[in-house]
Chains A and B, each alone.
Chain A
């Protein structure tokens, strides 16, 4: 179908584009950017007063299928992605069964493709069953569609296994995605500090993150493996990543919308919506994460999307399932961060478009040249949003099956900026534009 997005503010961080114009789309690709009044479109999306940006790329979203269908379905969560303007997402392998078999990955990719709401890029398990022992068939999994390998939330205890996994991945140039958390120090339910001490919650010290980072970076030096650090949470962690990049190590990093905006004080009176992994740390950690994202130490902002049912949250804080819904909040919370920090719209969009694409790099194959960008000849993954609108996060306002978020209006009392009006994936309208 030929679609014309008319008269929008075209913003593309990758090409430093910010001007009013049209986007002409045919055969799933952007055929013209700028003045396209002569384009014979079958469908016209009037974007007057709206921003037309590349579709968002989320490096961490759990869809809960297979295995956790009561929490989220591919259909509901990919619809949530489209509603959030997300056109590509990376999902960790901690499904049930774990994504450690090529057949499972192919099935997941196939089903996602049929829904055509959002591109899905699975991470394969780094070790079988995520057990931290035997390695998975990384080459086979890559052929099946995995774009990297991850231990999800399960830290590898055995340093020898981690070392070999990095060596093996480095043989083929695969990226290993690791959340830096020491298996033993990371056993608590809230960040160590005044709040956890006062509430009597078991703590996770910042050393849980820094000990793991030191180990990972030392092994990167030894193996040359490329590592993506998932969801940094501490000021000390940001500093270590900064030093590693300065040294020239092949590492990238992301931070979640939760850690970027919240701190442990927000736990209040045991609010289980704030039960998250990594745990919310102190205000100074949050400030360091915000600064790290602004100066590029942290490459990308992720939703850390995790649909959790009400039953799993209606229990004492420590027993609550960690996680929060996030796909539909990613754009708004990136814009809010940029607004708070006095950064331009282009920067807010870069950390959810061009930067995550750079993290994915050649793993995206032919998409690498145009995903996360508005470029003639490139794929038509587009997000059209109203930057001037605001919305309150309520259950009814969310498409995701997961309704729990720390940013729920009922508990936060604040409205978030920007509302997605239309999302296109490969030139198809995946959301909006009624």
Chain B
């Protein structure tokens, strides 16, 4: 079979869509992080706007419910002076039987410049990127279990902010890795940035062995997983996992894989604790840890806006 060109890069290797962290050149990731750094100050200004996307229309297409991610994208686009249109498609067109591509074609006809897409199926943003007009940029805001690249990038921004050099870090990602698009995007980003040890920690139902193919060390023991880690990324545990026979109870999960002060004490003294939110206190993370001095969960949210501004600004400057 033909090896197909990475659909998110143009022939000059510039970013035209952000669909996945996988396959992004290191230079592109660094460009996004550097640009985000310059936008961070915008967020502190009294007038929190720059005119980079003035006159551009950003459509938030959320085929799956999300308040937090949609809001941060909306803020990011507005701070770039774009017009933002929020479409909660989970409750409108598709319920009337319209296909994904018909919805996209209709919105393209309204002269959209950028689609921010969240969808419950892996690969949906790729499909949209393949079929939309050439001037339209697609940003994946989370697709199925596949990717959540802006979350991955804001996690990298956070790590770089607190740890500076990626090349001597141990990063532990803990919890429901198999269903997590955040974990996948983090793993790709950490690999590209040269992190020597990435651990995936959890029970075998949530951390299958074939994750090793992504270059991670698989740990089924929490102590082994977090020992001497510089960064601990906790993932949200969905309630559905208890029904599917993947876990007996959230209580048993917390006892063995929840991040408590005791377990955190096994990590490096200056370790940081991250979480993509929203957190489940007492399920994957203890309140003392979530609110403690190691937690950088709230800075992640702040950085997230700057990173999403950076992604949109860079995409708007590149042509297919």
Contact = CB atoms under 8 A, between A and B. Distances in A.
Contacts of B7: 269
B4 A314 contact: no
B17 to A, nearest CB: 11
Nearest to B128: A316
A270 B145 CA distance: 13
B123 A314 contact: no
Interface in A310-353: 311, 314-319
Contacts of A75: none
B100 A316 contact: yes
A162 B122 CA distance: 35
A265 B123 CA distance: 15
Contact of A198 (B4, B119, B121, B213): B213
B1 A411 contact: yes
A14 to B, nearest CB: 34
A270 B210 contact: no
Interface in A181-220: 192-194, 197-202
Contacts of A262: 1
A413 B145 contact: no
A200 B211 contact: no
Given A198-B22, A413-B2, A314 B184 contact: no
B188 to A, nearest CB: 9
A197 B127 contact: no
A282 to B, nearest CB: 10
B213 A269 contact: no
Interface in B90-133: 99-101, 119, 121-124, 126-127, 131
Contact of A192 (B22, B145, B210): B210
Interface in A226-277: 262, 265-266, 268-270, 272
A315 B126 CA distance: 10
A193 B210 contact: yes
B61 to A, nearest CB: 13
Contact of A197 (B121, B143, B210): B210
A412 B2 contact: yes
Contacts of A412: 1-2
A270 B99 contact: no
Contacts of A198: 22, 184, 213-214
A194 B144 CA distance: 17
A314 B103 CA distance: 13
Interface residues of A, number: 27
Contacts of B101: 314-315
B100 A315 contact: yes
A194 B213 contact: yes
Contacts of A269: 4, 7, 123, 126
Contact of A318 (B4, B144, B181): B144
A199 B121 CA distance: 11
B146 interface: yes
B22 A316 contact: no
Given A315-B100, A316-B127, A200 B146 contact: yes
A316 B213 contact: no
B187 to A, nearest CB: 9
Interface string B127-157: 1000100000000000111110000000000
B208 interface: yes
Given A270-B126, A316-B122, A318-B144, A197 B208 contact: yes
Contacts of B211: 197
B210 A194 contact: yes
Nearest to B183: A200
Given A314-B101, A317-B122, A199 B131 contact: no
14 contacts: A198-B184, A200-B144, A200-B147, A201-B145, A202-B145, A269-B123, A270-B122, A270-B123, A315-B99, A315-B127, A316-B127, A411-B1, A411-B4, A413-B2
Interface of A: 192-194, 197-202, 262, 265-266, 268-270, 272, 311, 314-319, 406, 411-413
Q: Lowest 6 CB-CB distances: which A-B pairs, in order? A: A270-B123, A200-B145, A200-B146, A194-B213, A316-B121, A200-B122
